[in-house]
Amino acid sequence: MPVLQAYNISHQFDNGEKLFQQLSCSMIKNRVGLVGRNGVGKSILASILSGEQQPSSGTVTLPKSFLVYRQQPSDLLSGELSIAQFLGKHHVLEALKQVEAGDCSEHWFDVIGDQWDLLIQLIQQLEVLGLPPDADFPCARLSGGQLARLKLWQMFASDVELLILDEPSNHLDVQAKQWLLASMRAFNGAILLISHDRVLLRDMEEIWELSGLGLQVFGGNYDVYAEQKRTELQAVDRQLASVDKQRKKLAVQAQRNREKAEQRAAQGNKLRQAGSHGKILLDAKKDKATASSSSRSKNEQLRQAHLQNKTQLLKARKEQLKGQKLYLEDSQSHAGKVVSMLDGVLSFGRTQPISFQVCANEKIHLTGNNGSGKSTLLKTLFGEVALQQGELRLNTPLYYLDQHFGTVQPKLSILDNLMQQCGGLKASDARTLLAGIGFRRDSVFRLGYTLSGGEKMKLAMLIISHQPEQPLLLLDEPDNYLDLESKVILAQALCNYRGGFILVSHDHDFARESGVQRDISL
């Protein structure tokens, strides 16, 4: 029996725009990966499948028990809950403290039950997860990766039938990703994974791809899916070539038929002028030829319309299969321009002094476990956070891109965001750049707040890479919200970029493909 089913579900925005229509799916496998380009509606589909949001039409059948992990920033970062309170263990821990202090009230014993070693177990588990071994530690002081691990750990410890995980590997370091993979394998229930992480997707039994053409199911894991996509693209190219050949052949034949008809008409006119044939006979032949020509022309038009429709369908499918492009502005040489830190102590994360030097055209991979201070270091370089001690020297312009795409203005259109923040960029050039990352025609007038995480990231990358002063880029996990194809495209663009950057990313394949020249480890 399927774990999850959906029948003819659709989603329509308040302005009448339809995101997707009449999608049906049946989750039979225990491990299913949902993929698709940024902005296609994966997270909205997940919220509909989880019952958090009602579809515009259609029905969803859910299991009796399930949990959903969301990629959005958690409200825990602005709250006052401790780790113990978040996990719902604070009552037992408080009872243990009271008994240890000498209070032998029966109430405390009832609360504790058989959980006398809870504190020891909890501290051990927090250490395994790479979290502070303190049950009273505030959740608001955890890094994004640490908070993700805490929330995921709580979910994997449950006995629900289904977990819906929306980008669970975002912000996780290498060790945490290995823990996530092991936890997913050990979980007894079913998992619907929305992700662009190839490592996780290789562990799936089936891949669902959401695109503008609907929901397509691919049997097997990510590698099988990728191979099937390559094969399908080759097949579409062959079909397009065949249809184009047929259209050209039909056009040539139509031209020949017109020429023959014109020749017959000319001969008929000569005979009529010569008077060697009767007028009635010539009129009959003319009517027959006209009818035949009309019928032939109608058939040719129908065949051309059929081939044109087939071409449009094939081109629409190829548009979903082919790669996009992301052009980063080439920078000039920055000889002599450097960023250096001498015995710097960060305000958060690593407590040991840091010393390093980066040339403005170097490509650096900034590595370290969750909570080690990578984001704090980038913010320190950019001037948002002060050093506790030490010396920082900057001899080149910098541009910082945070994890939440703050450079994209929510009330400006996509086109205005690019043009207003990139001095001297012409509208035609801006449109060409935007078309390369999937924003074509009227879509360039969409406002910033309507964009998905991946769409914001791609727009932000265009903005920061087309600054007139050609800065050193400070990139804080720019690949987190990108779809699989866009990750590859961004990596290629960064690799070909003549300027420099300091990149924070837990995806070592992405960092390597981006052309990093050396690592700085915290």
Judged against a pLDDT cut of 60, whether residue 194 lies above it is answered with yes
- Cβ neighbours of residue 343 under 8 Å, at least 6 residues apart? 353, 354, 355, 389, 390, 391
Q: What is the mean pLDDT of residues 258-282?
A: 62
State the pLDDT at residue 52.
87
- Strand partners of residue 99: none
Kindly report, residue by residue over 438-456, the tens digit of the pLDDT. Answer: 788 788 888 888 887 678 8
Q: What is the mean pLDDT of residues 8-36?
A: 86
Q: How confident is the model at residue 268 (pLDDT cuts 50, 70, 90)?
A: low
Kindly report, residue by residue over 355-401, the tens digit of the pLDDT. Answer: 888 887 888 899 888 778 888 888 888 888 888 888 888 878 888 87
Give me the sign of the Cα torsion angle 512, 320, 192, 185: negative
Q: How confident is the model at residue 86 (pLDDT cuts 50, 70, 90)?
A: confident
Angle, CA of 56, 209 and 242, to the nearest 5°? 110
Lowest mean pLDDT among 234-243, 290-299, 326-335, 451-460: 326-335
What whole-number distance in Å separates Cα of residue 344 and Cα of residue 450? 40
Tell me the pLDDT of the chain averaged across its residues: 79
State the pLDDT at residue 184.
92
SS (H, E, C) 174-187: HHHHHHHHHHHHHC
**Dihedral Cα 170, 439, 12, 20, nearest 10 deg:** -70
Most confident of 38-47, 193-202, 330-339: 193-202
Q: What is the mean pLDDT of residues 464-482?
A: 78
Lowest mean pLDDT among 164-173, 191-200, 236-245: 236-245
Q: Give percent above pLDDT 70 in the chain.
A: 81
Residue 439: both structure tokens together: 């924003």
Lowest mean pLDDT among 45-54, 310-319, 348-357: 310-319
DSSP string over 118-176: HHHHHHHHHHHTTS-S-TT-BGGGS-HHHHHHHHHHHHHTS--SEEEEESTTTT--HHH
Residue 340: both structure tokens together: 């250096």
Higher pLDDT, 312 or 492: 492
Q: What is the CA radius of gyration of the chain?
A: 31
Q: For the sheet containing 501-504, what is the strand order?
A: 398-401, 472-476, 501-504, 363-367, 518-521
Q: How confident is the model at residue 181 (pLDDT cuts 50, 70, 90)?
A: very high
Kindly report, residue by residue over 300-348, the tens digit of the pLDDT. Answer: 667 766 666 666 666 666 555 555 555 555 544 444 567 888 888 888 7
State the pLDDT at residue 321.
56
State the pLDDT at residue 296.
62
Kindly report, residue by residue over 57-78, the tens digit of the pLDDT. Answer: 889 988 899 999 986 656 666 6
Judged against a pLDDT cut of 60, whether residue 517 lies above it is answered with yes
What whole-number distance in Å separates Cα of residue 473 and Cα of residue 494? 10
State the pLDDT at residue 118.
79
Q: How confident is the model at residue 193 (pLDDT cuts 50, 70, 90)?
A: very high
Judged against a pLDDT cut of 80, whether residue 293 lies above it is answered with no
Q: What is the mean pLDDT of residues 457-486?
A: 78
Is residue 94 within 8 Å of residue 115, measured between CB atoms? no
Higher pLDDT, 104 or 28: 28
- Strand partners of residue 10: 57
Q: At what angle do helices 144-156 and 174-186 cross, to 10 degrees?
A: 10
- Helix, strand, or coil (residue 197): coil
State the pLDDT at residue 276.
54
Q: For the sheet containing 31-35, what is the strand order?
A: 66-69, 162-166, 190-194, 31-35, 206-211, 214-219
State the pLDDT at residue 289.
59
State the pLDDT at residue 280.
61
Q: Give percent above pLDDT 90 in the chain.
A: 7
